[in-house]
Chain A
Amino acid sequence: MVDFSKRYDVLVIGGGNAALCAAISAAREGASVLVLEAAPKFYRGGNTRHTRNMRCAHDAATDTLSGPYSEEEFFDDLLRVTGGNTNEDLARMMIHESKDMLDWIVQQGVRFQPSLGGTLSLGRTNSFFLGGGRAMLNALYLTAEDLGVAIAYEAEVIGLDVENGMFLGAKVKRPEGETYVRAGALVTASGGFEANKEWLEESWGPAAKNFLIRGTRFNRGTVLKMLGAAGVDQIGDPTQCHAVAIDARAPEYDGGIITRLDCVVFGVVVNKHCERFYDEGEDVWPKRYAIWGRLVAGQPDQIAYIIFDASSLELFMPSCFPPIKADSIRELAGKLELDADALEKTLGEFNAAVKPGTFDHTQLDDCRTQGLAIEKTHWARKIEKAPFYAYPVRPGITFTYLGVRVNHQSRMMMADGKPSANMFAAGEIMAGNVLGKGYAAGIGMTIGSVFGRIAGREAATNARN
């Protein structure tokens, strides 16, 4: 049983990748560590449970990586996806440290494998976890336990005692009741606020009610709010989040990776009035998937339908729910509860506008429409070969960007510009420092591991002095 009366050197809030890397690194520095995880054991590890890879720089191909990925190239990729919205110093440091991460994380028991079937494009840059994110977490938890880290599940932090930027103790809600725990230093690794719909509504309005949360229900951003109230400087756009279009039949939380749909480019996407609203073939899918969450969020009732025909069915990775299938467009409209005349009209106009071309889904081809208000600029083929298929989609939120400002030691910065005496942050809660906007696959885990390791080490040193 976890001893709550003891004063720990380091208190870690959260139970995901960033939290565990911090806890392990602090324990390896000789600190006594307590991890507080709001979720029960099965759901431990927040969104980390749903991940599959991390992006680390490396100079040469390895058993599991198909080629080198230099620090410079990584940095260029980061600049591109964030549009320069990054703290260059911190970003360069993180990318440099990411090189060593490949070894360090393996020393903590995590195992890698070559890129998964269907994700070849990431085989050079991203290291895939053998068994996925939960396997990765299981390994980290076993290592932490072996190092003597105390871990409490169903232990949600509901209050922080901070005086002039100095952490004193935390109030914890547990099934047994509320407790108070003191520690020499604090690492917050409690993720973003993507599961807090009231907070999302502040930026998105009532539309947020129809959002699905791709990951954990426990990332409610309460600690982030407490830190703001305690005078910690905030960073990142509070109104932004990473959202993709996922299967509308997904559960409200924790649908994870298998609800994603990779077939937008093969068909047309219509809203509940059977109108198209964006160029489905603007660019290759890896470069466009992240805009569709926002696009669908802008449609009435936050729902849309991807419609395609038999010729595309086997061109994309299967997802967890079967597509809705019908022998005619009218029948399909009936099953989707859409206006059949309107759907026939939209598809009729679309088909009439399709110009001849040579279809090639592996590159930007020359199949396009001409004469529509919203053109489809690549991969446009007539939707005419029965059976016809549809996937209903809704916005699915991956993560939010708002966080706390940190320095090179992962130490929180106060709003007055001074570093905090003993508070550190790692993972999604400080991702905004390097990832002001946009996303590059695998970078969430890099941020968690690199800054987690630093935060744990620094917190241990801090607590000792």
Chain B
Amino acid sequence: MHATNTLAEADRLMTLCNSCRYCEGLCAVFPAMEMRREFLDGDLNYLANLCHSCGACYHDCQFSPPHEFNMNVPKVMAQVRAESYAAYAWPSAFAPMFEKNGLKISLIAALSVAVFIAGFVAWHDPAALFGQHAGNFYRLMPHNTMVVIFGAAFLYAIIAMIMGIRNFWKNIGEPASTLTQGGSLWQAMKDASTLRYLDGGGVGCMNDSERPTDNRRRYHHFTFYGFMLCFASTSIATLYHYVLGKQAPYAWYDLPVLLGTIGGIGLIIGPIGLLMAKRERDPMLVDESRKGMDVAFLVMLLATSATGLALLVLRDTSAMGLLLSAHLGVVFALFVSMPYGKFVHGIYRFLALVRYAKEKRMIESGEAGTA
């Protein structure tokens, strides 16, 4: 029996799909499903996190609603996925964070921006907040303080996410040794970085109708690589500071600023594109109860890049103080909420792809026990 009704419904769908298999060539979910004849909760959570929500199997299925078999794999997989995030959350007391996630993330963000403003005002005389500092952030917040606060937030997020990874891996019932298979890891990196399975089996994803487009993948690339560049920018800046002893602010042509600018622009285009795609998405495919979580994450990313870029452009003006508080507040909120929001999708999807890389080799070599 299954832990939730959603999992029971996913079991029903996978059992029907296993007797049909028409969608076998569309993505990784169906070949992985065919290796099984029974679907335990862990199997379903694994399959749900393999699903990229491209929508193709919904439009290609002869049994999707209004047919009485009511096959809606993308939607049910999205529901299972969202439930699985909560189930893996660490500490488990924080699992309810995934309920009304959008609201909670906005509250955390607003709160942390307010705390940064209040902090600056309390530490300095209020006028400093609106003063001109020629781009020198450390006048408002010493570098070491910044490192301690953000290092702690980041470390916490990493620990919580590692615990989530453990929970996921145990739940799907995969031996730990798979995570040390270089081949599987490398394959998963390639599949994740190209979003190989967000293409409806080759033509593009079917977001608003059966007419495929590659928009979501394109905008996700902007988002993903934008985020990675911003992350790289911050990491390099830290190295500059401690290894080279080079202090911010850096000139526009310096690596941290260049990477941050390009990444920031990607992190503006990407989330806006994804928000637009979300608005156009066929409502039949949408897990309404988790829309808030998706939107909150998109808005947080957008707020991170928007405040960051604004800070860069206006760092020599009197708006710097407020912008710095806003940017630091948003980034802080992004970090601490990471383990409890949509960000974890990347982690669990990547892990599911690692396992699938291994299973795919088994299928290809004929070792897999297909029914």
Contacts and interface: CB of A to CB of B under 8 A. Distances in A.
Interface of A: 42, 49-50, 52, 111, 113, 116-118, 128-135, 138, 141-142, 251, 254, 256-258, 314, 317-320, 322
Contacts of A142: 210-211
Contacts of B18: 318
B22 A131 contact: yes
A134 B67 contact: no
A117 B24 contact: yes
A457 B15 CA distance: 43
Contact of B60 (A138, A257, A320): A138
A138 B210 contact: yes
Interface residues of B, number: 33
Given A131-B201, A318-B15, A320-B15, A257 B20 contact: yes
A323 to B, nearest CB: 12
Given A130-B202, A138-B210, A319 B19 contact: yes
Contacts of A130: 25-26, 201-202
B157 interface: no
A199 to B, nearest CB: 24
A131 B29 CA distance: 13
A111 B201 contact: yes
Contacts of B60: 131-132, 134-135, 138
In the A-B complex, the 5 residue pairs with the closest CB atoms: A132-B22, A113-B25, A131-B60, A135-B60, A258-B19
27 contacts: A42-B66, A42-B67, A111-B202, A113-B24, A116-B22, A118-B371, A130-B26, A131-B56, A132-B61, A133-B22, A133-B62, A134-B61, A134-B62, A135-B22, A135-B59, A138-B60, A138-B210, A251-B68, A254-B62, A256-B20, A256-B62, A257-B19, A257-B22, A258-B19, A258-B20, A320-B15, A320-B20
Contacts of B59: 134-135, 138
A131 B62 contact: no
Nearest to A113: B25
Interface in B58-89: 59-64, 66-69
Nearest to A142: B211
Given A131-B56, A132-B60, A317-B371, A258 B201 contact: no
Interface of B is mostly: loop
Interface of B: 15-16, 18-26, 31, 34, 37, 56-57, 59-64, 66-69, 201-203, 210-211, 370-371
Nearest to B30: A117
Given A314-B371, A318-B37, A318-B371, A116 B62 contact: no
A223 to B, nearest CB: 23
Given A117-B370, A320-B16, A256 B63 contact: yes
Contact of B370 (A50, A113, A118): A118
A130 B66 CA distance: 23
Nearest to B57: A131
A317 B19 contact: yes
B61 to A, nearest CB: 7
Given A130-B26, A138-B60, A142-B210, A111 B371 contact: no
Given A131-B201, A318-B37, A258 B16 contact: yes
Contacts of B22: 52, 116, 129, 131-135, 257
Given A130-B25, A318-B371, 11 more contacts: A42-B67, A49-B62, A131-B57, A132-B60, A134-B62, A135-B56, A138-B210, A256-B62, A256-B63, A257-B22, A314-B37
A49 B56 CA distance: 15
Contacts of A317: 19, 371
A142 B64 CA distance: 19
A263 B196 CA distance: 37
B26 A131 contact: yes
A111 B19 contact: no
Contacts of A42: 64, 66-67
A132 B17 CA distance: 12
B67 A118 contact: no
B62 A320 contact: no
A462 to B, nearest CB: 32
A151 to B, nearest CB: 13
Given A111-B202, A131-B60, A320-B19, A116 B68 contact: no
A256 B20 CA distance: 9
B25 A131 contact: yes
B299 to A, nearest CB: 34
B8 to A, nearest CB: 14
A144 B22 CA distance: 23
B21 A118 contact: yes
A314 B37 CA distance: 9
B61 A117 contact: no
Contacts of B26: 130-131
B335 to A, nearest CB: 41
A50 B203 CA distance: 21
Nearest to A316: B371
B100 to A, nearest CB: 34
Contacts of A320: 15-16, 19-20, 69
Q: Identify the interface centre among A258, A314, A317: most chain B CB within 10 Å of its CB.
A: A258
A254 B67 CA distance: 8
Contacts of A49: 62
Contacts of A132: 20, 22-23, 60-62
A425 B217 CA distance: 43
A403 B371 CA distance: 39
B142 to A, nearest CB: 59
Contacts of B23: 131-132
Of listed B63, B69, B201, B211, residue having the most chain A CB within 10 A: B63
Residue of A128, A132, A134, A251 contacting most chain B CB atoms (<10 Å): A132
B117 to A, nearest CB: 53
Interface centre among B16, B22, B56, B66 (most CB of A within 10 A): B22
B59 to A, nearest CB: 6
Contacts of B37: 314, 318
Contacts of A256: 20, 62-63
Contacts of A113: 24-25, 201
A134 B63 CA distance: 10
A254 B37 CA distance: 24
A189 to B, nearest CB: 19
Contacts of B69: 320
Looking at B23, B24, B370, which has the most chain A CB atoms within 10 Å of its CB?
B24
Contacts of B210: 138, 141-142
A199 B256 CA distance: 77
B27 to A, nearest CB: 10
A241 to B, nearest CB: 21
Candidate in B21, B203, B370 with the most chain A CB atoms within 10 angstroms = B21
Contacts of A257: 19-20, 22
Contacts of B20: 132, 256-258, 320
Contacts of B31: 117
A49 B67 CA distance: 12
A26 to B, nearest CB: 22
